[in-house]
Amino acid sequence: MGRPLVISLAGVCVMWMPLCFVFLFASGFIAARFGTLDAEPFTLLLVRSLLVLPVLGLILWLRRKPRQWGRRNDRLAQMGIGMLLHGAYLGGVFAAVKAGLPAGLTALLVSLHPLVTAALSLPLFGVRLGVRQWAGLGCGAIGVSLVLGAGLARDGAGTLEWPLIGLVWCLVALIGVSSSTLWQKRVSGRMGLVEGLMFQYLGAGAVFVVAATSVGSFAFDPTPRLLLTMAWLVIAISVGAIWLLMLMLERGEAHQVARTFFLVPPCAALMAWWLFDEQWTALMVTGAALVVLGLVLDRPRPGMASKAPAEDATPSAPSASMPPGSTASATSEASATNSGQAASR
């Protein structure tokens, strides 16, 4: 009687892992809003990177598995990917929120990265897009147009309701995560997940130092709110998200993250509405629904996602981070899981 119960509980945990991962990913946008109230975004991310590195070292020590440090070129590549994935992507997200862009809207706009990556795969790698992928791109483009159009409609002067610089930072984030995903395609799978993340954070740290210096401010007011936010970023998201991602990769279920990734924007929007009273008009909701539909259409098909579970053992090999495969649907899965590494924010 006890054994079936244990098996049943294990099955429930496996089923909920992707959803928990998505929740943690979405909560990063909320943490960005809280954290940037008391600190400059790049300083906040720099401190967080410095705190995460020893945590990753502890995880490596506790795992007691053979280290996979890869070759010199692999380590340099991971640092470069970190500059784009953690530096440009997370830096863009936090800077956009700091500039006054709503957290829910930021989550929606940067969630377009699987579609952007799929679109870029066509000219860069010759990956042919199927009908579903073209439909997904179309829905995403129309949805974003409606959301931004709603921002214009709500302003009688015909100007955007949200700060333009915030939208520019979202564009930087989109370029960063899409570029890192495409680059990851070219990287070998000789590094372990945690080892690769350590070098990614080193690369990102350099970006944050330069960015904070250029802004001219290292403001970091250690209020209780900021300390709690930092604890959430490091422990709940960095450790929790990495742990869940490692479990899913080891089980060959990284595609589950990609399948449920379209839940991130509505999840973040709901949390932002509850915590910050961020309001969405009917036109914005319609546009957001079209974006989510586009992500659903672009998600990988179950049969294709299950073809390469063995490759998910490392951060650079899998469908874990490499976009263009033989089909465009593999691109969205790769892009989603690559962001999963960023979710260790």
For the segment 103-140, what is each residue's pLDDT rounded down to a tens digit? 988 988 888 888 788 778 777 777 777 788 788 888 88
Contact 336, 184 (CB under 8 A): no
Contact 105, 196 (CB under 8 A): no
Residue 29 domain-assigned (yes or no): yes
Rounded Cα gap, residues 52 and 155, in angstroms: 42
Residue 79 domain-assigned (yes or no): yes
Rounded Cα gap, residues 345 and 343, in angstroms: 5
**What per-residue confidence (pLDDT) applies to 207?**
93
Contact 163, 44 (CB under 8 A): no
pLDDT above 90: percentage of residues in the chain: 25
Q: Flag whether pLDDT at 308 surpasses 50.
A: no
Kindly list the distances between the CA atom of residue 341 and the CA atoms of 81, 92, 299, in Å, as whole numbers in the listed order: 11, 16, 18
| Region of poorest pLDDT, from 33-47, 64-78, 141-155, 207-221 | 141-155
Rounded Cα gap, residues 229 and 260, in angstroms: 25
Residue 121 domain-assigned (yes or no): yes
**What per-residue confidence (pLDDT) applies to 15?**
64
Q: Flag whether pLDDT at 273 surpasses 80.
A: yes
The mean pLDDT of the chain is 77
Residue, of 333 and 198, whose pLDDT is higher: 198
Rounded Cα gap, residues 293 and 137, in angstroms: 10
Which tokens is 246 given? Answer: 């490692």
Residue 220 domain-assigned (yes or no): yes
The 3 state secondary structure assigned to the chain is CHHHHHHHHHHHHHHHHHHHHHHHHHHHHHHHHHHCCCECHHHHHHHHHHHHHHHHHHHHHHHCCCCCECCHHHHHHHHHHHHHHHHHHHHHHHHHHHCCCCHHHHHHHHCCHHHHHHHHHHHHHCCCCCHHHHHHHHHHHHHHHHHHHHHHHCCCCCCCCCCHHHHHHHHHHHHHHHHHHHHHCCCCCCECHHHHHHHHHHHHHHHHHHHHHHHCCCCECCCHHHHHHHHHHHHHHHHHHHHHHHHHHHCCCCHHHHHHHHHHHHHHHHHHHHHHCCCCCHHHHHHHHHHHHHHHHHCCCHHHHCCCHHHHHCCCCCCCCCCCCCCHHHHHHHHHHHHHHHCCC
Residue with tokens 């109230």: 37
Number of neighbours of residue 317 by Cβ within 10 angstroms: 20
Give the model's confidence band at 306: pLDDT under 50 very low, under 70 low, under 90 confident, else very high.
very low
Rounded Cα gap, residues 30 and 40, in angstroms: 15
pLDDT in tens, 140-165: 888 888 887 776 655 555 556 778 89
Q: Flag whether pLDDT at 31 surpasses 90.
A: yes
Average pLDDT of the segment spanning 17-39: 89
**What per-residue confidence (pLDDT) applies to 309?**
38
Contact 154, 284 (CB under 8 A): no
Q: Flag whether pLDDT at 42 surpasses 90.
A: yes
Contact 194, 242 (CB under 8 A): yes
Q: Give me the domain span that covers residue 49.
A: 21-342
Kindly list the distances between the CA atom of residue 104 and the CA atoms of 54, 90, 108, 197, in Å, as whole numbers in the listed order: 31, 15, 6, 27
**What per-residue confidence (pLDDT) applies to 225?**
94
Average pLDDT of the segment spanning 245-257: 65
Contact 87, 204 (CB under 8 A): yes
Average pLDDT of the segment spanning 315-327: 31
**What per-residue confidence (pLDDT) applies to 254?**
56
Rounded Cα gap, residues 146 and 142, in angstroms: 6
| Region of poorest pLDDT, from 247-251, 269-273, 284-288, 295-299 | 247-251
Residue 11 domain-assigned (yes or no): no
Residues in the chain: 345
**What per-residue confidence (pLDDT) applies to 230?**
94
Residue 134 domain-assigned (yes or no): yes
Count of the separate structural domains present in the chain: 1
Residue 10 domain-assigned (yes or no): no
Rounded Cα gap, residues 320 and 234, in angstroms: 22
Contact 162, 100 (CB under 8 A): yes
CA 173 to chain centre: 10
pLDDT in tens, 163-190: 889 999 999 999 998 888 888 877 766 7
CA 325 to chain centre: 20
Residue 2 domain-assigned (yes or no): no
Q: Flag whether pLDDT at 95 surpasses 90.
A: yes
**How many Cα atoms occupy the beta-carbon half-sphere of 169 within 13 Å?**
26
